[in-house]
Amino acid sequence: MKDGIISAQTRVVLAAATVAVATGITVSITGAVFAQQKDPAPDSPQFYTEKVEPILDDNCYSCHQESQSGGLRLDSYEAILKGGGRGPAIVPGDPETSLLIKLIRRNGLLKMPPKHALEPAEVDVLTAWVKAGAKGVPTSADSLASKSTSPAGAPASIASKPKI
């Protein structure tokens, strides 16, 4: 009878220890996820989705989505790599020769966005991303297909192509 009580207590202690360990693991995993979401590394695909895409969305999609100014779409990772009439918009690992970076630095004749400069912090984010190898999240074939067959897209892109 006495043995029974001791082993019951032992079981309670063991169970409590298990809960404590499990809680500890959960907390540390959650901590890691939060840390990653808060500050993704420039060489991670999360940097593209969380830092780069919002800047392009706010400042570039109005002319570089369906309307494809300069033959360039900036609303998918593949499209950025493919580039526009002048070739690839970025050279992964080499911001200095990347057309997109040159244009947002506004040192030449062509400046992007045309009417206002990006914030210095935004230029830094895009530059850091290209420098770290421009990792991205490839769009699925399905969503690319639905984008390119969008009925509003095709005629507008031809009509709005600038004469150079």
**Which positions lie near ligand HEC, rule CB under 6 A?**
59-60, 62-64, 69-72, 74, 83-86, 89, 99-100, 103-104, 110, 112-114, 118, 162, 164
Query: What's the rounded Cα separation, in Å, for the pair 90 and 66?
Result: 20
Report which DSSP code applies to 118.
P
Distance of CA 164 to the CA centre of its chain: 31
- Identify whether 113 is preceded by a cis peptide bond (ω within 30 of 0): yes
- The phi and psi torsions of 84 (rounded to 5 degrees) equal -125, -150
Least Å distance, CB 81 to ligand HEC, is: 12
Determine if residue 134 is left, alpha or beta; phi over 0 gives left, psi from -120 to 50 gives alpha, anything else beta: left
Residue closer to ligand HEC (CB basis): 42 or 83: 83
- The string over 40-57, giving b where at least 16 C-beta atoms fall within 10 Å of a residue's C-beta and e elsewhere, is bebebeebbeebbbebbe
Of 89 and 130, CB closest to ligand HEC: 89
Task: Kindly state the smallest distance separating residue 139's Cβ from ligand HEC, in Å.
Answer: 18
Residue 19 or 154 with smaller CB distance to ligand HEC: 154
Q: Nearer Cβ to ligand HEC, position 11 or 86?
A: 86
Least distance between ligand HEC and beta carbon 107 (Å)? 14
Nearest distance in Å: CB 21, ligand HEC: 49
